[in-house]
Amino acid sequence: MKLTVNGTAHEVDVEPEMPLLWVLRDELNIKGPKYGCGVAQCGACTVHVDGIAVRSCQLPVGDLEGEVLTIEGLGSPESLHAVQDAWIAHHVAQCGYCQSGQIMQAASLLEMTPQPTDAEIDEAMSGNLCRCGTYPRIRAAIHTAARTLSEA
């Protein structure tokens, strides 16, 4: 089976019903997406498929249509994505476990809604759980990233 992840084409020999999360982590050694709940309710496994945030723990790789982007491909060490920069500036992460999913969800939100309101942020991010409760910092970081992206 062929798939493109972070701009690189891969060939994997897996069953079509294997969740994308396990293909990423176990077959391709891409560890950014995390296993959280396994039922697409926490958002720790969030990746983009053609720019849309999806829960990779529940997406069978055989149903995958489009290119996959993980946190590893969102920015680069030389040029972080605006959301990543904002996350750092606002000291969002505490334990950090959910953060790759949070960042991927936020980047997808800003792609579709460049200047979201607090309500739009809350709605878009509601499926991403943070046990540390950094939601106010998440919202502030998203607003900062939105301003940065609008100035670019």
Query: What is the pTM (predicted TM-score) of this model?
Result: 0.95
* Confidence grade of residue 32 (pLDDT, cut at 50, 70, 90): very high
Contact of 12 with 3, CB cutoff 8 Å: yes
In tens, the pLDDT along 8-21 reads 999 999 999 999 99
**Strand, coil or helix: 49:** strand
pLDDT of residue 62: 96
Specify whether domain 75-151 bears CATH 3.40.50.970: no
Residue 145, pLDDT above cutoff 90? yes
pLDDT of residue 61: 97
* Confidence grade of residue 139 (pLDDT, cut at 50, 70, 90): very high
Q: What's the chain's Rg over C-alpha atoms?
A: 15
What are the boundaries of each domain within the chain? 2-73, 75-151
Residue 99, pLDDT above cutoff 90? yes
Top-level CATH class of 2-73?
Answer: alpha beta
Q: How far is CA 132 from the centre of its chain?
A: 18
